[in-house]
A and B are shown apart, each in its own frame.
Chain A
Amino acid sequence: MKPPLPIDTGSLYEAQRKIHPREVSGRFNNLRVIAVIALLGLFYVMPWVQWGGRQALLFDLPARKFYVFGLTFFPQDFFLLTWLLIIAALSLFFFTALAGRLWCGYACPQTVWTEIFVWMERLAEGKRQQRMKLDKASWSFEKIWRRTAKQAMWISFALFTGYTFVGYFTAIRELTTHVTTWTLGGWEAFWILFYGFATYGNAGYMREQVCKYMCPYARFQGAMFDRDTLIIAYDTERGEPRGSRPRNVDPKTRGLGDCIDCTLCVQACPTGIDIRKGLQLECIACAACIDACDAVMDQMGYPHGLVKYTTQNATDHKPAHILRPRTIIYGSLLALLIGGFTFAVASRDLLELDVLRDRNALYRTLDDGRIENVYTVRLVNKDTAAHEMTLRVAGLRDAELDMDAASVRIEGGAVVSVPMRLRVPAGTVSGSVNIEIVAEAVDGSAHSVVSQARFLAPSSP
């Protein structure tokens, strides 16, 4: 026998409503659980993945190098990061226009971590009714241990989150050693606590209030919506007039629609809105109301979809358009930016050469009359493989290039600075000459890179 339908309308119309969302299960909740496991799994596992002998994803801020799967990025590649952020923002616009607030309901870190904290809370304090009872109860042994268990889980998970987060900036294997041997650096400890506290506060206490009051995206996403954007809506035509009725009575004989006014959709809403009043700013499109309503429709023997994912046009019985100016413009801009980004990363010079003049002397006249200029050569290797480089000079006749060794070896992802001396015979150069320094790989990799420089000599021969 099916359980009776909970019908409760009493507390909903008070001036100050309390939000006690009811637990729901259903296909959209399952989808969110899958998203939560996948995204959190990615977050916690990624720092442990190795690539070419080092952490695959490491933003080594102290060394000012970013390692991303065998690619090394230096501060001079910053425009790529900016580019990536623009792509991320535009993707959000594109998916919002297409599918509404999918991001909010399934992928936003706020949602994802809230989900896991709610799960821990339920583990320690029980289901909704038990929790409400526990809230009201005076401090007993049971209340103390349940609250302690919840806090212990929350705090340790938050600290673990902070530790993983810092593991993206300090190699996580080193960090683990620091933690286990109590040799954690001051800043490492500080940022673990900082990020851990932010997680604890956001996922444990603030939750969907962040979406309602603090999230800028929640406010401006309306600008990307149009009549073909996927939204969650209540089918007013089918549902109204709403009202309770016995299970085996045809609603039409009583002049009723399909909504039995059980208010489960309202009770399930984590932001405390009534979806039957239409699309509202607070709706984070988590689809909890759909799952709640579909379960009720099953019990009543009505078809699913009284509350469902739909579009404004579909609701108004107008044709839907996936391809429309807004999505075409966002989509082609996005394709263009991603294509350009891929090209920029792929065609990036893996070697970089800077030639800096010695600042202390313009030139030096040697005992035999030759003129010498001293430089510092800085080679940057963004490749994973090490390279062996030699230098030569172009644009300077009879020049002798002198270095401490015949060639320079640079490890993958490393920067090497070496002194270089250029000498010309007396009288061959007067004043300032523009020259080119060419660095060529002698390891068969055919890398070559050029840098401009100047050679200075006395003006009168």
Chain B
Amino acid sequence: MSTREDIGNDGDAWPRLRQDLGVILWCSFLAACFATMLFFAIFDPIYLKYDDDPPSWLADRRTGYALGFFFFWLTTAVAAALTAWLVDTRNRGDSTG
């Protein structure tokens, strides 16, 4: 561990698509972590039920946390991907029309 060599398994600059994917997934992950923390600090997942008895699979809070987290991640990733795509393509109309 005393030296650093050969960092970057292949040191090539990332292709554009991989850069975009990395940015989208990572930023949406951070936002989802933040949203999950805020949301579940206020709402206890076992009370997130639509009728009197929670479904049995929701009885374990860990299921609620995990579903909440992936729901937030999916939502933020869609927003990030759409934003990236719209920002990337916004001037194309001008140049062709």
Contact = CB atoms under 8 A, between A and B. Distances in A.
B75 interface: no
Nearest to A63: B61
B87 to A, nearest CB: 15
B41 A75 contact: yes
Interface string B41-55: 110100000000000
A62 B62 contact: yes
Contacts, number: 108
Contacts of A164: none
Given A29-B2, A64-B61, A214 B7 contact: no
Interface in B9-26: 9-14, 19, 22-23, 26
Given A61-B65, A187-B66, A209-B14, A20 B19 contact: no
B11 A23 contact: no
> In this complex, which of B9, B19, B44 has the most chain A Cβ atoms within 10 angstroms of its Cβ?
B9
Contacts of B66: 187, 190-191
A21 B42 contact: no
A118 B22 contact: no
Given A75-B42, A187-B66, A30 B22 contact: no
Interface of A is mostly: helix
A127 B3 CA distance: 10
A187 B62 contact: yes
Contacts of A20: 6, 8, 11
Interface residues of A, number: 50
Contacts of A272: 8, 11
> In this complex, which of B14, B30, B42, B62 has the most chain A Cβ atoms within 10 angstroms of its Cβ?
B62
A268 interface: yes
Interface stretch (A200-208, A384-392, A402-410): A200-208
A210 B7 contact: no
A22 interface: yes
B1 A187 contact: no
A70 interface: no
Contact of A21 (B8, B14, B27, B65): B8
A155 interface: no
3 smallest beta-carbon distances between A and B, as pairs: A19-B11, A23-B5, A23-B3
30 contacts: A18-B10, A19-B7, A19-B11, A19-B12, A21-B6, A21-B8, A24-B5, A29-B4, A30-B2, A61-B61, A64-B44, A64-B61, A75-B44, A118-B5, A118-B7, A121-B6, A185-B62, A187-B60, A187-B66, A190-B66, A191-B66, A208-B7, A209-B22, A213-B19, A213-B22, A213-B23, A214-B22, A214-B26, A214-B27, A216-B27
Interface of B: 1-14, 19, 22-23, 26-27, 30, 37, 41-42, 44, 60-63, 65-66
Interface of A: 16-25, 29-30, 33, 36, 61-62, 64, 75, 78, 81, 114-116, 118-119, 121-122, 127-128, 131-132, 185, 187, 190-191, 204-210, 213-214, 216, 268, 270, 272, 286, 288
